[in-house]
Amino acid sequence: MLSVGIFTGYYPYEVDEVIRRIKASDFNCVQLDVSFKDCDAAKGQLTKEKAIEIRSKLRDANLPVVCVSAYTNFIHPDPQKRRRNIEYLKSMIRFARDLGCTYVASETGTYNEESDWVWDDRNGTEAVYQETLQVVKEIVACAEDNGVTFLIENYVNNVIGSVAQVKRLFEDANSSALGLLCDPTNYFDETNIDHVDETLRLIFDELAPFMKVAHAKDCKRTTDYSEKHADIDADESHTFRGAGGVELPACGLGVLNYPLYVELLAKHHPNMPIIIEHLDESDIPRAKGFLDGVLKKVGV
């Protein structure tokens, strides 16, 4: 069966209260954002001792960490920002085992100087692809040195967005320390949002062997082409709700064919954890109820 979890970052509290609320919501695993009110890795507050403390508390609560979040724009056009972002990601890789997990995830980012999720025409150039590949190889080398697997999460407005781009990156990087975070909604823009089932099948036909962890959100057309964010107390990676002609709401609020999605996921990875995202705390019971209902109906 597919286990259902949630990002810890949707609970804006100290570690103990986050764990209490996740347990009360009946999740059985988490993707770990080290952005607690009493410990924020992005602010340099994470130490080996604190990482072990967080890991131990999650173990006592029987909430396994299936992935550590390290989302950053590691291809930012500003060289100093790029280097800071890369070093942050590598630091999370070094802490991963202390945090109880060997998967660390990030998107690739974009050359857009104002946003980590808005398209820039330079993203589509061969030169920027080659830069991205070299950064990925640097990160993967760090992962190999630390016994960790780096998970790429593609996004359509980033350098690595399409099925073809993801497949090419895996072929060119050629490392067992590189995996894919499966989120089918990240492949949709105005050109394919009306072809959900066809796109889902393409994603799994081409990329299923690389998948390690799955996400659960949704997608739908919108006439609001601005960058969209929810007004919640969370990191920007968790307030983001889409850019361009596709909105990315919580699961069950869009057009993604969830029965087909989980059927394909279970066919290739029958025990893969699926992590709920893109919601506020008040919507968690509905979103979990929706996903649990689909999983029961499909029988996975």
Of 182, 178, 176, the C-alpha closest to 216 is: 182
Of 144, 147, 152, 198, the C-alpha closest to 171 is: 152
Distance CA 220, CA 10 (A): 22
Q: For the whole prediction, is pTM greater than 0.95?
A: yes
Q: 1-11, pLDDT tens digit by residue?
A: 999 999 999 99
Q: 33-45, pLDDT tens digit by residue?
A: 999 999 999 999 9
% of the chain at pLDDT higher than 70: 100
| The pLDDT of residue 26 | 95
Q: Would the pLDDT of 63 be above 90?
A: yes
The domain containing residue 118 runs over which residues?
Answer: 4-298
Helix 126-145 to helix 163-173 angle, to the nearest 10 degrees?
50
276, 288 Cβ separation under 8 angstroms:
yes
Q: What is the 3-state secondary structure (H, E, C) of the chain?
A: CCCEEEEHHHCCCCHHHHHHHHHHCCCCCEEECCEECCEEHHHCCCCHHHHHHHHHHHHHCCCCEEEEECCCCCCCCCHHHHHHHHHHHHHHHHHHHHHCCCEEEECCCCCCCCCCCCCCHHHHCHHHHHHHHHHHHHHHHHHHHCCCEEEECCCCCCCCCCHHHHHHHHHHHCCCCEEEEECHHHHCCCCCCCCHHHHHHHHHHHHHHHEEEEEEECCEECCCCCCCECCCCCCHHHHECCCCCEECCECCCCCCCHHHHHHHHHHHCCCCCEEECCCCHHHHHHHHHHHHHHHHHHCC
Report, as an integer, the average pLDDT of 79-91.
97
Look over the chain and give the mean of its residue pLDDT values, rounded to a whole number.
97
Report, as an integer, the average pLDDT of 161-177.
97
Q: How many domains does the chain have?
A: 1
CATH number of the CATH domain containing 15: 3.20.20.150
| The pLDDT of residue 252 | 98
| The pLDDT of residue 236 | 87
Residues 6+ apart with CB under 8 A from 20: none
| The pLDDT of residue 251 | 98
The first and second tokens of residue 64, run together, are 């396994």
Distance CA 91, CA 99 (A): 12
pLDDT band at 103 (very low <50, low <70, confident <90, very high): very high
% of the chain at pLDDT higher than 90: 96
Report, as an integer, the average pLDDT of 211-240.
94
| The pLDDT of residue 200 | 98
| The pLDDT of residue 3 | 96
Q: 254-270, pLDDT tens digit by residue?
A: 999 999 999 999 999 99
Q: Would the pLDDT of 14 be above 90?
A: yes
| The pLDDT of residue 117 | 86
